[in-house]
A and B are shown apart, each in its own frame.
Chain A
Amino acid sequence: MKTGDRIGGDPIERLLAGALAHRRPKKTRRCPDEDRLRLLLPGQVEPKEAEKLLTHAAECDWCGAVLREAAQDLAEPPTGEEEELAGKGRFADPGRRREFVERITGGGRTDPKPWLLILRRPAWGLAAAALVVAGGGVSYQQWARGPARTERLLAQAYTERRQMEMRLPGAEWGRVRTQMGVESSSFNQPLELTDAISNIKRGIAGHPDDPNWLKLQGEADLLDGKEEAAIAELERAHALRPADASILLDLGTAIFQKAEKADDPQLRAQAFERFSEGWRLRPDDPALLFNRAVAAQKMYAYTEARDDWDAYLRVDSTSGWVQEARQHLDEVKKNLSGSGPTPPAQHPTR
């Protein structure tokens, strides 16, 4: 059979009419990452990969549509109406822009005191004024739903059902329990975690950009086994408050938990780096020393692990964590002396 001998009529017209009637955008497993596909617009994909993406998109109704919409939305500079909208937005005001830039660049070097920045924000200033006028401090309800209490609840939930080797800030020691074959259900959660999540939801709704609440949200997701979500939230908190060692502690822990699940040495190295950043800010923080030592040990970096366990036992000699730290130190020393089990051949890059 030769081209065109089956049916009559103009092939281009039939093609267009059929495309309108039968195009079926449906995402399949073979579809590439949409974020990557959109990078074809600014030409940020290497030629070989671009060729692959274009070939797929040309033949896939879903990816073709993703590309079409991206081209429609992103090919033109802002219209007059959009410029006007931008002029009314939060970042049109130079003062707010400057304040935001100070926050993301960690511009605390030349900034006024943080409490002054808080009072500069109109909404927070009003809230602070309202508290002063009330004269009686915070109510029980405010306290029960506040970040300090929520942090305590999370720490208790962690201790009650500890599911990871890593530590959470402020949490007391608890035995590691692994859940084998148990369906993840909210009914299995400790009550403290349920209460904390409820507080966090309220807190985030009222203060979506508060690094304290974002940090607590990350911790709650971590306890709930949602490392991906935890990493995203903690990274946001870290971007808002880059010099906060406890955020770096949680972020490192979330990345480490993900590394453990995926058995990914590079992720472990990333987690170690986060702990190190936190440690540089607070060199005597027991939880940071503890978690960094665990990460180093898992990376077969025994010398670093030994130094961190030694440092840990110098700053903590009384808590429930001490026994665990000593056991780790003994294990590391055995490995260093050659009497421990042989580590796998692969050595992660530090």
Chain B
Amino acid sequence: MTSGEAGDEDRVELPPEREGTGTLTLEVVEDPWGPSSGEESPEDLLRACADMRDFRAWERFLSRFNPIIVATVVRTSRRYGFDGAGLSDDLVQEVYLKFSAHEAKVLRQFKPRQYPGAVFRYVMVIAANVVHDHFKSKGGKYPDQSPLSDDVAGPDETEWRLLLREIDDLLRRPPVSERDRHIFWFYYRHGMSAKEIAALSSLKLTTEGVESVLVRLNKLIRSAFEGGERQSRG
């Protein structure tokens, strides 16, 4: 396990924009996705629902997952500018049909892994995909995620793209791993927060782990650029 992987970081520095507030102590918090005591695990429930004849399991599935499916449908619909309750009901139904189609193929495809909340996130991703498909099939335009504003003061574009390339060249050299390079660009190019990056279970990092990577790469880049400037002045 490398530095910053889930579970092994207990004290990390804050990323640069939050510097000055000291270090952060990782607290053990209650897993918001975890089942209540005595409740069947969500993995077990999914497994039970993979048998389409299990009427009771499906009743429990609807009862348990309905709030997160509704929340996902509402959040994703808002991306397309829709906020109607009636539409949500129909889309929620579409989501359940997706889960039950082909003898619950989507549920059977779920691969149990040791990520916190993986089942809930899986259900949410499937629900979100149904909503995206719905709006796209209606010819709905996915809104521009980052409209360009004329009054944003920034460096010249060519200059910026050269800077991107220079930084990327640095990040492609050891000791920077490919995973850390991804994290850097998700944060500084795409504007994802450390928490949002840590939500990508495939990276296997906590929010603090992501922050730690960012601080390390930040220092590496700054010192490389300072060294470059000193050499060119000298």
Contacts and interface: CB of A to CB of B under 8 A. Distances in A.
Given A25-B146, A100-B93, A73 B128 contact: yes
Interface in A29-86: 34-35, 38-45, 47, 50-51, 54-55, 57-59, 61-62, 64-75, 77-79, 82-83, 85-86
Interface string B195-208: 11101111110000
Interface string B58-87: 110011001111111011100100000100
8 contacts: A3-B228, A23-B190, A41-B200, A62-B145, A68-B191, A77-B71, A86-B71, A101-B59
B72 A73 contact: yes
A284 interface: no
B167 A11 contact: yes
Given A51-B178, A68-B192, A82-B74, A75 B199 contact: yes
Contacts, number: 287
Interface stretch (A103-111, A157-165, A310-318, A324-332): A103-111
B224 interface: yes
Contacts of A59: 185
Given A38-B125, A71-B199, A82 B70 contact: yes
A12 B218 contact: yes
Nearest to B170: A3
B125 A89 contact: no
Interface centre among A47, A94, A101 (most CB of B within 10 A): A101
A143 interface: no
A10 B225 CA distance: 8
A35 B70 CA distance: 19
Given A6-B162, A12-B222, A102-B55, 20 more contacts: A4-B229, A15-B163, A18-B154, A18-B164, A19-B160, A19-B188, A35-B129, A39-B125, A42-B122, A50-B202, A54-B179, A55-B178, A61-B146, A67-B192, A71-B200, A74-B121, A91-B92, A101-B58, A236-B97, A236-B101
B110 to A, nearest CB: 7
Given A19-B189, A65-B190, A89 B88 contact: yes
A54 B70 contact: no
Most buried by B among A18, A77, A97, A102: A18
B178 A10 contact: no
A240 interface: yes
Nearest to B226: A4
Given A64-B185, A69-B145, A104 B96 contact: yes
A17 interface: yes
